[in-house]
Amino acid sequence: MIDKVYFSHGLESGPWGSKIKRLAATAELHGLSVTSLDYQGMRSPAQRVAKLVDHVANEPEGSYILVGSSMGGYVSFAAAERLRPAGLFLLAPAVLMPNYPTQDCVPPCPYIEVVHAWDDAVIPIENVISFARRLNCSCHILAGEHRLLGAALEQTDALFRAFLLRLNIAGPKA
């Protein structure tokens, strides 16, 4: 049974930025516990992956979801190969970027969704499309920029709710 969500933030943000706060509230409405790891001051993708793996290593396989934004999307994806979450929800993930060590793993994860923006000036859209094609996963391209705020955040939250339903997580608790 899926009962937790682990959030990983981007390089320049913190553990409780706008996107994570919004999606965490949605996860909690669906009865999931939420943890948002703090990677501030850690610039190395490999160190962040190690931190996530260490933090989640004792959780039963398939009992949690990993959600990551930007570098946190990369971290969630790279860690998933060893952690085996029930699902990955990646926001503007830093995939196929130079100097990021793991690029070609295929996480043994049945549900992977990617959300990206047409006008992302940080992570090239071509990287994300190529990544999603290789994994044969859903890739949602929204109007907006890298931070996925404003209307893009509304759409992202709706996509996250639908993702939770696909994982058979019941709707909001009364």
**CA angle 155-160-162, nearest 5°?**
95
CA 62 – CA 109 distance, rounded (Å): 8
Average pLDDT rounded to a whole number, residues 64-76: 97
Whole-prediction pTM: 0.95
Q: What percent of the chain has pLDDT over 90?
A: 86
174 pLDDT more than 60: no
Does residue 131 sit in helix, strand or coil? helix
Query: For the segment 33-53, what is each residue's pLDDT rounded down to a tens digit?
Result: 999 999 999 999 999 999 999
How far is residue 68 from each of residues 91, 114, 142, 173, measured CA to CA in Å? 6, 10, 17, 24
CA 93 – CA 78 distance, rounded (Å): 11
